[in-house]
Structure 1
Amino acid sequence: MRDYIQPDPWSIIEEGFDKDRVKASESIFSIGNGHMGQRANFEESYSGETFQGSYIAGVYYPDKTRVGWWKNGYPENFAKVLNAPNWIGIGVAVNGEILDLNSCKEVTDFRRELNMKEGWYSRSFDAVLPKDVVVHVKVVRFLSLDLDEVGAIRFEVTSIDADAEVVFRPYLDSGIRNEDSNWDDQFWETTEVASHISSEESQAFIESHTLKTNFKVCTFMESQLYLNGGQIDDKPSEEKKDLKVAHEYVQSVKKGETLALHKFGGYTVSRNHDASELVEAAKTALKKATEMGFDALLEQQKQVWAKIWETADIAIEGDVKAQQGIRFNIFQLNQTYLGKDSRLNIGPKGFTGEKYGGSTYWDTEAYCLPFYMATKSQEVARNLLKYRYYHLDKAIENAQKLGFVNGAALYPMVTMNGEESHNEWEITFEEIHRNGAIAFAIYNYVRYTGDYSYIPEMGLEVLIGISRFWHQRANFSEPKGQYVILGVTGPNEYENNVSNNWYTNYIAKWCIDYTLQQLENVKDGFPEDYDRIIGKTQLTGNVTDYWREVSENLYLPYSKKHQVYLQQDGFLDKELVNVEDLPAAQRPINQKWSWDRILRSPFIKQADVLQGFYFFEDHFSTEELERHFDFYEPFTVHESSLSPCVHAIQAAKLGRMDQAYRLYLRTSRLDLDDYNKEVEEGLHITSMAGTWMSIVEGFGGMRMVDDELSFTPRIPEQWTSYSFKVNFRNRILKVTVGKIETEFVFEGNEGMAIQVNGERVVLRPGKPERV
């Protein structure tokens, strides 16, 4: 665990330069705007250890799968988010010496800040170069949320002790590679490097395209020079190479004067423009940005973020680290996905690293959807569901490759375009529970928004494909006299190739039951859609009878001795050692133990049975939850980023606020404090939505009961109060929880009923109601 981030309610702050922290900070201080993102790499040269990364939403490469032993059914490719051409680079030299923090004699007053309230990243320091030149440097960078193809950098150099010659060398570079390339392939091909310098502008463009997927991208830049705040009209010289273009500005500055470069850059992509018009689109974007100027564009950025925080913020009084943690999570979620484009989704690392390929996992449906439903419009959440509907044909194709027939659909564990693109056997073929999370997301969306139209328009077709899969995946066991599901991996990836994983079997049963119910609902309420869907899917009554038989007779492993559902068959055959008996030196076990040892242990990477109790809380009593929580929590090592949030919610429901608070801190500061010792690889974006759930669903106790919002508010001892807002069916409700009472205020045109601690309360617009 690292602990160098300074506590602050609205900013992430690092003070002091430490080369050993550079890669971790590059992740933590990452910025994005939904269209693109980048790690917090230095703009100037850095010869120390660094992980350079810039990424464009939806642009990927199908890297050929690399495994030791090929098995039939393996995906041919592992789709990966691409490290895109670099536009942030600015070479800096003072009196002929290159500015490089790795080789400076001394670096003092180093400070980074990620201002989450206003959406910008800054860095400042004093540096003594090898020949004793002393400079003060301040850099501000942001990616515009409004002009989302554009980012802006203001790079200032002040000569501290003498007059100096300062050189700025802004450049574009397409000669980049992914660190996680399976075969060290070149993912990009550069087709054109161009520069345009006139008395009005200094622009450069690199046109390139991805191999195989053929995404065409124009990387662009334009720079302006300022001395002591006044613009200088000097034209730069230029240098063009096969993969790089640079402009060079040389300026004499007096002692104490400040030379600043304003650089605007970014990407235009063939996903959004005609491929032949990318340079013209880039020029249009640059024109808008430069006409506004850096300061006006930054002011616009602050206003857009202020609008986001109006509904997304969670305010905590009395605990700065807890406050900083939740805002960091909310900030990164909004940097990654804003819901504008239903072709896009949320990668587990967002724009902060290459691990997990930047692809879509079941995390979106299980963890992210509630956050986006409640903090944005329902159209944003609907776009996430559309994404899966548009990939239904691919899900059917994925199932066909594994031997399933008649329209059975297996959604991929990892995907960019609907095809399965993961190459670990136990994940690709066995973590079939992801099908259940997608069906649950449809149910969750309809339950929360009241928008049933998605089901007859799109969702029922998805549910039919998923139910067909579950029916075919189960087989009848003569010894048990019931249907079983063999050879799976549940959410707990520390148990592979098991039979009758309870969570998988339970969600399969629920999926079939829910689909049968929706078939009846659509038949009664939307007969034209029903006829269209039945005609398209060729679904017959005999098939649904077979589904019902599987659902009603699906085996769910249970221990009468312990009175708990079992993770899977054979779980009690393990040596049941508690996590508290593990020496600290052996943690995390995924970095210390062999996989064989992990698989034979009882240790749980993340909630498995308890994940089912989280989804289907109203299927079980509080006493059953408590019994299962007490049985499984002692075996849980929480080495998945998705684990602590579910446990925090359930601990809060059980009134165990100290434990809930500890788990909340772990999920909210997972990356800030680097609990799993891996933050340099990138942030855990999708689990950040679980942090939001820990407060809203955990401490706030928000649920849907009888088509109304329900709350059972609790507050950690460490907090004075906390507040959050939710957008419920186009009405904004603010909830403020204190030590003594909870206040509810909502914006709307008519009254709204909610439930608080089991009692019905009618709210009137704008009038606070205290309970």
Structure 2
Amino acid sequence: MNLDYIIPNNWSILEEGFEPTHVKASESLFSIGNGAMGQRANFEEKYSGPTFQGSYIAGVYYPDKTRVGWWKNGYPEYFAKVLNAPSWIGINITVNNEQLDLFACKDVKNFHRELNMKEGWLSRSFVATLQNDIEVEVKTKRFLSLDLDEVGAINYNITPLNSDAEITFEPYLDSGITNEDTNWDDKFWDTLKVSHENHQAFIEAKTMKTDFYTCTFMESEVFIDGKSVLIEPDFTSDANLASFKYTYNVKQNETYTIHKFGGYTVDRDHEKNELVSAAKATLDKAKTAGFSKLLDDQKQAWAQIWDMADITIEGDVKAQQGIRFNIFHLNQTYLGTDETLNIGPKGFTGEKYGGSTYWDTEAYCIPFYMATKDQSVARKLLAYRHNHLQKAIENAEKLGFTNGAALYPMVTMNGEECHNEWEITFEEIHRNGAIAFAIFNYYRYTGDFSYIPEMGLEVLIGISRFWHQRVNFSSQKNKYVILGVTGPNEYENNINNNWYTNYIAKWCIDYTLETIEKVKEGYADDYERILGKTKITHEELALWKKVADNMYFPYSEEHNVYLQQDGFLDKELITVADLDKSQRPINQKWSWDRILRSPYIKQADLLQGMYFFEDQFTNEELERHFDFYEPFTVHESSLSPCVHSIQAAKLDRMDQAYTFYLRTSRLDLDDYNHEVHEGLHITSMAGTWMSIVEGFGGMRVKNDTLSFEPKIPAQWEGYSFKVNFRHQIITVSVSQNETQFKLEGDKDLTIYVDGKEVAISPNNMVTV
């Protein structure tokens, strides 16, 4: 059963009423982050019910030794895990020596939780009756600062309603934490030192194996009815814990408040021996500013983000809430300030997928960051892959490839492959193609070719060398084939001639050959440097071209469509509509054996290729393939509905496009795949943005300029979005009757709307 307790609202995620069965899901949905760290929405006070505790630091991971039943040559030694970091948010609360614990209270009423996406904070309020019959009202607010990204702040208020009470706040740090996701129950953290000074406490710890050194810190102050109270707290500690106790006799209806500042300093940003002093400096800044000023700064920082990234939808609150939820979490996860970081599929909301980098970044996220931020942010994501090129070459060498062939990892933290399912590690090689496509897509959108001679061409050469070596020549077909692969549709493993893989391999080689010539003609010094480094020869390039020109693509004359793979028509072609609903989702109801023999498609596969390379196919071809494959697609990957939404809009099937849009935008809010308790689907959220901008807005780059084919769902009165195109910001506003374009910048811009040329001038609205 899908979640239905999240209240529709334009700017907030809202929950009313305390329901323990919703706690884990809400911990995911209400997660907060600031690009440098993040945390699930765990309660500050003790909670003895089922919970998934999670605090995470960007770039800090552990190489959890691979666990498989049968070791195969080429297997990664480990699966990198994002780590549940030492926790700083905890505040134990006792009322007349009775611990506040919502799971143990006699009664909880007026429970309200809000994630305010406009201003970037999380709040809760409730009235609880403890076992000792004291009734208290609690109001909390918490955020992770965008300006001081090493620090977070908590404002926790408690008011006794039916009597005076002795109340103790016990803010604490805890490094005795574990991961939900672990292969061998290893100890991930080694606590080095617990210390305190005045009202500040510090836990210095390092990760095992990877030796990331961290300092988790906190400082607190308390108030009565808003006035500061000087209490000398009791400090206690053990090997993994540091806590202060602030006890006060609170009168009935008085409000006792604690402001707690906490966070992390990490040796990725500071010297190992300066982590505590850096923490003190950060705490001093936070304490000097105070909770209210930090919150005002937070609101301002989010206002700047929303000014560029917001998409407005009129007349459909659920659709509006969905897109803002997606945009909000993308910005909580990655802000483009550090090119050593990337975007994990769960961001800071859970541990599934290890928190590592997948092909999702290149296929889905880069378009969002290119258009809603400065292009330098997308360039950093591309630089991340170039910085890992040597590791990609080593990954290929482990599988027997030579001569600088590069296979980028399916999953990585540091450029090294760390995924240990053979059908993905060895076979889902299409990820190489997404990285090459992102280089092409970046240049197409930004017009910045400089990345390619500086970094990108070396990446393209390594990828093309891989494709050249990965093909087989079939004398039977008189074509080059690619055997033993898994495409984006992971419900077909170890198949031959996956159309998407074959097509993107051919495209990569053709694009690399074209790019080599362009660099040779216009960037002679870079060309000579790359030539010297890669030892590329004309003979090698000729062999590549032979492969690209003679690639095999499975095709059905009967159905007049390309086939997903050689054996697709051998399956029993029962559509999803004829599948018993009780069997869904099939990945939770069926054996893997049964799934692999079925025709069901986890995510857009062949249609993914037609999305990437739509200029190379007619609308009639797209329609034919969409009509053939969509009925077999179960969309059990978060990456699937957005592509179908974009293509349905292109085919003028707006009801279908709208249904897919709602599914992608509310995938987590409505828990379509029954797994939101594990964390959110961060990378697919960029696909939601694409489903509006590229789907309904019809935005493309054609002939070096922006082109739009605006459409609008019948359910909406209007929608608008902004894109930053080559340092000029265009606002697009679509209603049921017209589309308006407004340009910010200092020069005119020519765009195309429904194929017709339209000139727009700065600050001059144009209506089409």
SS in 1 for 2:742: strand
Tell me the equivalent position of 1:497: 494
Q: Which runs of 5+ in 1 are unaligned?
A: none
Pick the aligned partner of 1:439 from 436, 442, 446: 436
Residue correspondence of structure 1 range 257-336 to structure 2 within 5 A: 257-336=254-333
Aligned residues: 767
- Alignment partner, residue 62 of structure 1: 63
**Alpha-carbon distance in structure 1 between the residues aligned to 2:253 and 2:476:** 86
The corresponding residue for 2:621 is 624
In structure 2, distance between residues paired with 1:562 and 1:766 = 51
What is the match of residue 606 of structure 2? 609
In the alignment, does 2:186 pair up with 1:215? Answer: no
Match of 1:256 among 253, 256, 273: 253
| Cα displacement string for residues 17-55 of structure 1 (whole angstroms, at most 9, x for unaligned residues) | 000000000000000000000000000000000000000
Percent of pairs with identical residues:
71
Hey, what does 1:232 align to over in structure 2?
229
Q: For residues 484 and 507 of structure 1, what CA distance do their matches in structure 2 show?
A: 13
One-letter code of the match for 1:136? E
Secondary structure at the residue paired with 1:697?
Answer: helix
SS in 2 for 1:413: coil
Q: CA deviation at 1:685?
A: 0.1
Distance 1:148 1:233 in 2: 28
The one of 503, 508, 520 equivalent to 1:506 is: 503
- Of residues 589, 593, 598 in structure 2, which corresponds to 1:592? 589
Alpha-carbon distance, 1:661 to partner: 0.3
Aligned partners of 1:77 and 1:750: how far apart in 2?
A: 52
Return the offset for 1:234: 1.2
Which of 732, 735, 757 is equivalent to 2:754?
757
Partner residue of 1:370?
A: 367
1:554 matched residue in structure 2: 551
Counterpart-to-counterpart distance in 2, 1:227 and 1:746: 51
Question: How many Å separate the matches in 2 of 1:182 and 1:324?
Answer: 37
Q: Distance in 1 between matches of 2:357 and 2:758?
A: 40
Match of 1:386 among 376, 383, 386: 383
Counterpart of 1:692 in 2: which secondary structure?
helix
User: 1:484: which partner in 2?
Assistant: 481
Q: Which amino acid aligns with 1:207?
A: E
Q: Tell me the amino acid that sits aligned with residue 533 of structure 1.
A: I
Structure 2 counterpart of 1:560, which letter? E
Partners in 2 of 1:732 and 1:108 — Cα distance? 47
Q: Return the match for 1:427 from 424, 435, 460.
A: 424
The residue aligned with 2:465 is 468
Q: What CA distance in whole angstroms lies between the structure 1 residues aligned with 2:125 and 2:72? A: 52
Partner residue, 1:123: 124
- The letter of the residue matching 1:732 is I
**Cα offset, 1:403, TM superposition:** 0.1
Distance in 2 separating the partners of 1:739 and 1:639: 32
Deviation at 1:233, TM superposition (A): 1.6
Q: Distance in 2 between matches of 1:560 and 1:411?
A: 35
Match of 2:691 in 1: 694
For residues 325 and 233 of structure 2, the distance between their equivalents in structure 1, rounded to whole angstroms, comes to 39
Which residue does 1:684 correspond to in 2?
681
Aligned residue in 1 for 2:173:
172
The answer for the alignment partner of 2:91 in structure 1 is 90
The alpha-carbon deviation at position 116 of structure 1 amounts to 0.1
CA distance in 1: counterparts of 2:61 and 2:259, whole angstroms:
30
Q: Could you tell me which amino acid in structure 2 is paired with residue 23 of structure 1?
A: K
Distance in 2, matches of 1:240 and 1:19, equals 31
Find out whether 1:136 has 2:133 as its counterpart. no
- Matched residue SS, 1:147: coil
SS at match of 1:234: coil
1:195 shift after superposition: 1.0
Q: Deviation of residue 179 (structure 1)? A: 1.1
The structure 2 residue matched to 1:541, chosen from 523, 538, 551, is 538
Secondary structure of the residue aligned to 2:6 is coil
1:154-184 CA-to-partner distances (Å, cap 9, x unmatched) read 0100011111111000000000011111000
2: CA distance, partners of 1:513 / 1:227: 70
* CA distance in 1: counterparts of 2:489 and 2:727, whole angstroms: 37
Residue 561 of structure 1 deviates from its aligned partner by: 1.1
Q: Distance in 2 between matches of 1:674 and 1:571?
A: 30
Q: What amino acid does structure 2 have at the position aligned with 1:122? A: S
The aligned counterpart of 1:727 is: 724
Q: Report deviation, 1:196.
A: 1.0
1:193 aligns with 2:194: yes
Deviations 1:434-492 (A, max 9, x none): 00000000000000000000000000000000000000000100100010000000000
1:14 aligned partner, one-letter code? E
Partner of 1:77: 78
- Residue number in structure 1 paired with 2:151: 150
- 3-state SS of 2:466 partner: helix
- SS class of match (2:432): helix
Cα distance in structure 1, aligned partners of 2:79 and 2:121: 33
Deviations 1:217-239 (A, max 9, x none): 00000001011001112111100
Q: Note the C-alpha offset of 1:115.
A: 0.1
SS of 1:671's equivalent in the other structure is coil
| 1:418 equivalent in alignment to 2:419 | no
2-side partners of 1:109 and 1:680: how far apart? 23
- Runs (5+) with no aligned partner, structure 2: none
Corresponding letter in the other structure for 1:284:
A
> Within 5 Å, which residues of 2 pair with 1:20-35?
20-35=21-36
Post-superposition offset of 1:322: 0.2
Paired amino acid for 1:537: T
Q: 5 Å matches for 1:737-756?
A: 737-756=734-753
- Residue 242 of structure 1, aligned match among 234, 239, 243: 239
Deviation, 1:131, is: 1.3
Q: Amino acid of the residue matched to residue 412 of structure 2?
A: T
SS class of match (2:552):
coil
Looking at structure 2, the residues matched to 192 and 730 of structure 1 have their Cα atoms a distance apart, in angstroms, of: 49
Q: Which amino acid aligns with 1:617?
A: E
**SS of structure 2 residue aligned to 1:182:** coil
Distance of 1:240 and 1:750 partners within structure 2: 63
State the Cα deviation string for residues 238-291 of structure 1 (Å, max 9, x = none): 001000000000001111000000000000000010111000000010010000
Shift of 1:686: 0.2
State how far apart, in whole Å, the 1-side matches of 2:24 and 2:512 are.
47
Once residues 235 and 265 of structure 1 are traced to their aligned partners in structure 2, the CA distance between those partners, rounded to angstroms, is 19
Counterpart secondary structure, 2:262: strand
Deviation at 1:311, TM superposition (A): 0.6
SS of equivalent to 2:497: coil
Give the CA deviation at 1:518: 0.5
Distance 2:462 2:233 in 1: 60
Displacement of 1:560 in angstroms is 1.1
What TM-score results when the alignment is normalised by the length of structure 2?
1.00
Separation in 1, partners of 2:746, 2:366: 27
| Secondary structure of the corresponding residue to residue 714 of structure 1 | coil
Find the aligned partners of 1:88 and 1:679 in 2 and give their Cα distance. Answer: 22
> 1:528 & 1:80 partners in 2: Cα distance?
41
Q: Which amino acid aligns with 1:70?
A: W
1:660 and 2:657 correspond: yes
State the one-letter code of the partner of 1:45.
K
Residue 338 (1) aligns with residue 335 (2): yes
Write the distance in 2 (CA, Å) between the matches of 1:112 and 1:538. 60
The Cα shift of 1:532 comes to 0.1
Give the Å deviation of 1:151: 0.2
2:641 is matched with: 644
State the superposition RMSD in angstroms.
Answer: 0.4
Residue 99 of structure 1 aligns to which amino acid in structure 2? Answer: L
SS at match of 1:292: helix
Instruction: Supply the distance in 2 between the matched residues of 1:2 and 1:135 (Cα, whole angstroms).
Output: 29
Q: Tell me, in whole angstroms, the C-alpha distance in 2 between the residues paired with 1:275 and 1:727.
A: 39
